[in-house]
Each structure stands twice: as C-alpha cells, then as structure tokens.
Amino acid sequence: MPAVTPSTEAIRTRATRGDAHRQEQTITTSQAPLLVYASHGGAPLLMSKRDLLAPTPDDCEKFRTLADTWRKETRRVSSLSKISMHPAYQKIIGMGVAAIPLILQEMVERGGHWLWALHAITDKDPAPENATFHEAVEAWISWGEAEGYLT
C-alpha cells in the first residue's frame, strides 16, 4: 500500500457499545479524502470517501428507474418548481448521500436540473452568487471531484 502523507489530520475517540472506544482518523490528501479506521490496535483500513459512500447496485438501479421516469414525465414541463417537486425527483432526494455520485455522474453524462436535489441533500451550494446555470453545474462537478464523488 502506498504511503499517505497527510496535509491535515484529526483524531477523535467516540464511545461505541459498552466501554469500547474506536479511534477514527481522517486524513486529507491532495486527492479525495481518505478515512482511516482502527479498532483496538487493528490494522488501519484506508478507504476513499467515494468507496465508503459508493452507492449499492440497488441504489444504482433505483436511481436509474427514478431518473428515467422523472425525465420522461417532465420533458415538456417548463416550471422548475414542478420539475423539482415531481415524485420521482423527490424520491431521489430521499435516497440521501447515496444519490450524490449518481446525480453528479448524471449531470456529466446527460445534464438536467439536478442543482436543487444536490443542495437539498448536501445543504451546500458551491456555485458563486449570480452564477449562470452552466456555471453552477460546473461548480457542482468541481465540488464532486474535490469531495471524491467523481473521478
């Protein structure tokens, strides 16, 4: 395994069941954040945030079905609020963090009005104030790459 040179490091101990404690160490490198978990002297496990939060095959299938339904049923709708309040779109938001890499990849591959969903799930908005739609999309894609959701 290659050596990891941390640029920032934070260690915290939190109680789990009983008197057991687990140390969780977060190491941020120049690439995607890596999480290191060690328990009672065990060997550390390095995982990228992308791998740790990767959607399951069921998540991927659910997202694809919902996204296809949403696209089909809102294709001729001009109201952004109606597009964003569509039941399939709302179910995608309900998928939570598992939907983030799927939404970002969908934006890269097929475009679409996903900004509302990303903001609802993450409570973030990486786009600069007064950004155009395309600038906001680019800001979200850059954010996704920086956060390890896109490669």
pLDDT in tens, 94-143: 999 999 999 999 999 999 999 999 999 999 999 999 999 999 999 999 99
| Residue 66 included in any domain | yes
> Measuring CA to CA, which residue among 125, 126, 69, 124 is closest to residue 92?
69
The confidence score (pLDDT) of residue 33 equals 54
Is the same domain home to 45 and 63?
Answer: no
Is the same domain home to 42 and 61?
Answer: no
Is the same domain home to 103 and 133?
Answer: yes
Is the same domain home to 76 and 141?
Answer: yes
State how far the Cα of 91 lies from the Cα of 149, in Å rounded to an integer.
20
The tens digit of pLDDT for each residue in 30-75 reads: 455 555 655 556 666 666 666 777 889 999 999 999 999 999 999 9
Is the same domain home to 62 and 113?
Answer: yes
The confidence score (pLDDT) of residue 53 equals 72
Is the same domain home to 40 and 61?
Answer: no
Range of the domain at 131: 57-146
Is the same domain home to 90 and 135?
Answer: yes
Give, in degrees to the nearest 5, the angle at Cα 91 between 64 and 117: 85
Is the same domain home to 68 and 39?
Answer: no
CA distances from residue 62 to 25, 88, 94, 98, 133 in whole angstroms, order as listed: 32, 10, 11, 11, 27
| Residue 3 included in any domain | no
Q: What φ, ψ does residue 124 adopt, rounded to 5°?
A: -125, 160
| Residue 70 included in any domain | yes
Is residue 50 a contact partner of residue 148, using CB atoms and an 8 Å limit? yes
Is the same domain home to 65 and 84?
Answer: yes
Is residue 49 a contact partner of residue 55, using CB atoms and an 8 Å limit? no
| Residue 112 included in any domain | yes
| Residue 36 included in any domain | yes
Is the same domain home to 83 and 115?
Answer: yes
For residue 107, give both structure tokens.
Answer: 């934006």
| Residue 1 included in any domain | no
Is the same domain home to 122 and 139?
Answer: yes
| Residue 98 included in any domain | yes
| Residue 121 included in any domain | yes
Domain count along the chain: 2
